[in-house]
Chain A
Amino acid sequence: MAKLNMVQALNLALAQEMEKDDSVIVIGEDVGVDGGVFRVTDGLIDRFGERRVVDTPLAESGIAGMSIGMAIYGLKPVAEIQFSGFAYHCFHQIESHAARLRLRSQGAVTVPMVLRAPYGGGVRALEHHSESREAYWAHMPGVKMVIPSGPRNARALMVSAIRDPDPVIFYEAKALYRAFREEVPDEEETLPIGESQIVREGTDLTMIAYGAMIRPVLEAADELEKKKGVQTEVIDLLTVSPLDDRLFTESVKKTGRAVIVHEAPRSFGPGAEIVSRLVEKSFYHLEAPIARVTGFDMVIPLFAREKAYIPSAGRIFRAAVQALETEP
């Protein structure tokens, strides 16, 4: 057991899986000697050599397409896209092939690959380096979209993603990379992909979020308890797609009130699907309109203004108060 930040926890997951299985290959731009621009693959090249930690030419579609071929051949590539804002180059390969080869071949050809990419704002980066576009992948049948919210679940989910028989898009919140440390056990730990978690129990209100938004959500929940005596239940999706709606639809049946939080733009964002599931499955228990606290429907502004764009604990708190004060 060691206290690790998310970068170290992901590194641990990669190293342990590479140790266990020689079909696991790390591939991407600057993942080798440089250890990745965020150092997630740091030291892997020294331990496993250039044969298994593969620096690529600068071409994201190439990385995705080559990884698909490697996975078809029976390897388990873990590809890094340096920033999720450059993953659009991969879109064609993932949509046209990774997501479909299983179906196209009626199960004969599968693509067990992981595409990792840092996402989200809050680190004062350039344009294309701060966006949250997980909805693109969540809308894509045949791939899984996973977003951890801290070091321990990042490590466990990465292990599961590498072992998953289907392609997994794995977004890592840059804002969380070095934000805090958690106890991460040395021994193997996995978390099932496609299962959400209750990270705070409560009876008055349900908050649904994932990734970097879990921290401000928990902060808002604490404030609500302190200032209003409100017990908030917080659901961490962990997997955006396939969306696990069991916990949050049950939770809202109990609380009657829901606040959904994501950094991604609002329209057609993950929140829209969550609202739909709540309307379909928890409608008669709702006591207030469902609130969404999200990014605005625009490209995230350059960093001088990004703080105003990203949902804050205060904004979440106020949305919750409004949901709580609405009389049925």
Chain B
Amino acid sequence: MPREEFKIPDRVETLSILSADGSLDEELAPAIDDDLLVKLYRFMLLGRRFDERLLNLQRQGRIGTFPPVSGQEASQVGPVSVLEEEDWLVPSFREAVAEMWRGRSMESIIISASGFSEGASEAGGENNLPVSVPVGSQMLHAVGIGWGMKYREKKNVVMTFFGDGATSEGDFHEAMNFAAVYRAPVVFICQNNHWAISIPRSKQTRSKSIAQKAVAYGMPGIQVDGNDILATVAASREAVDRARDGEGPTLIEAVTYRMSVHTTADDPKRYRKDDEVESWRAKDPLTRFAGYLSEKGLLDEEKIQAVESEIKESIQAAVDHAEEKMKSMGDPMDMFDHTYEERPAYLEEQRQFLARELKEEANHG
């Protein structure tokens, strides 16, 4: 056997449709009806404004720490926008706007960020999992769900999100491998936001791209401009269609940037330069998309202001509702629910102990 290049069946591509400078590749642009285009814009803006409001609430001490999405709106809204209601979303922890698209209320996010477990129970529809904090671990759940869809002969798809840091985890490898082996209908969305807290993408992997990792597992990979909503929609649509048609999983690397902190407990000035952040501000997903919509005559200053004020009001209403709801939450006795379906005797004893203790504390301090 001579020495020659190994021919690998799966391809790795890149995709950019609407550039940062506003130029558009019309041939590649996905067909999206006008209402949906406006809805995409509204959600991206909602993601941005909600983030800003949460940051504000956190700085005032009204909520706990949370992971902002700013800068990554197109990487999240684009992919989930192509899902059907019966499809599943398996998020990591930085996908608030994707969760909201799927039906999670802003109230529930505020309630969760305030330390109340009740927030999770109000998370969207049945087919959306709660956030998963241990990096990369949720990807395997998506594979199991996808396996189940295939077993039950459902034409559904499961989409899971993770970051560039997650690609170093063993569970990333196992999930990609299992999904490919079983040809499970899974769409893997890697939001490569360039930073895993203080570790840059370059120190996470020597691979030239994350998308190319797909090839090793026997699935197609595509690197898209994650700040280009048209590109994230186009690539996701293709991947979802493939999965739905029984052709198995796809890895999409959405190249984007975390414009804000990792969480509100983080100070990015310790590890990255302002210049870098500023260079990404020029590639902002919202500005670019607003320009495109204006060109199409779907958006003008007046409309933008109308959307802005509608969003502002809805966020304010969510904050008010959440704060109202939280007044009646927080009974410590509730912590004894939901460890098992049925509470074991010793846990009931511990519950009664706490009840007595709380009474003592109330009476005697």
A residues near B, CB below 8 A? Answer: 25, 51, 54, 56-57, 59, 61-62, 64-75, 77, 92-93, 96-97, 101-110, 141-142, 144, 165-166, 194, 242-246
Cα-based distance from A141 to B339 in the complex (angstroms) = 7
- Residues 110-156 of B contacting A (Cβ, < 8 Å): 117-118, 120-121, 123, 126, 129-130, 132, 134, 137-149, 151
Known: A104-B130, A246-B345. A70 touches B137 (CB 8 A): no
Contact among A59, A69, A144, A166 with B177 in the assembled complex (CB-CB below 8 Å): A59
Q: Do A71 and B344 have beta carbons less than 8 Å apart?
A: no
Q: Do A62 and B140 have beta carbons less than 8 Å apart?
A: yes
Which of the candidate stretches B71-79, B167-175, B266-274 sits at the interface with the other chain? Answer: B167-175
Known: A62-B177, A66-B143, A72-B141. A103 touches B341 (CB 8 A): no
The contact sample of 8 A-B pairs, CB cut-off 8 A, is A57-B174, A57-B181, A65-B143, A69-B141, A92-B171, A97-B132, A242-B340, A245-B346
- Report if B85 contacts A (CB, 8 A): no
Contact among A59, A104, A242 with B117 in the assembled complex (CB-CB below 8 Å): A104
Known: A66-B147, A68-B141, A194-B344. A61 touches B134 (CB 8 A): no
Find the residue from B140, B142, B144 having the highest chain A CB count within 10 A: B144
Which residues of A sit under 8 angstroms from B137, Cβ to Cβ?
A: 65, 92-93, 96-97
Minimum C-beta distance from A66 to chain B (A): 4
Q: Do A105 and B130 have beta carbons less than 8 Å apart?
A: yes
Report, nearest first, the 5 A-B pairs whose CB atoms are least far apart: A69-B144, A65-B140, A73-B148, A106-B121, A62-B174
Q: Do B174 and A59 have beta carbons less than 8 Å apart?
A: yes
- Chain B contact-residue range equals 35 or more
Known: A67-B144, A69-B140, A245-B346. A57 touches B178 (CB 8 A): yes
Which residues of A sit under 8 angstroms from B357, Cβ to Cβ?
A: none
- Return the chain B residue nearest A64 by Cβ: B140
Which residues of A sit under 8 angstroms from B170, Cβ to Cβ?
A: 61
- Report if B337 contacts A (CB, 8 A): yes
- Report if B338 contacts A (CB, 8 A): yes
Cα-based distance from A165 to B146 in the complex (angstroms) = 21
Contact among B139, B146, B340, B345 with A142 in the assembled complex (CB-CB below 8 Å): B340
Q: Do B141 and A75 have beta carbons less than 8 Å apart?
A: no
Cα-based distance from A57 to B176 in the complex (angstroms) = 11
- Return the chain A residue nearest B126 by Cβ: A108
- Return the chain A residue nearest B88 by Cβ: A73
Which residues of A sit under 8 angstroms from B143, Cβ to Cβ?
A: 62, 65-66, 69
Minimum C-beta distance from A238 to chain B (A): 14
- Return the chain B residue nearest A52 by Cβ: B151
Please give 14 more A-B residue pairs, beta carbons under 8 A apart, in addition to A77-B144, A166-B341. Answer: A64-B140, A66-B141, A66-B178, A69-B142, A69-B147, A72-B141, A93-B171, A97-B132, A105-B123, A106-B117, A106-B337, A107-B121, A110-B341, A242-B346
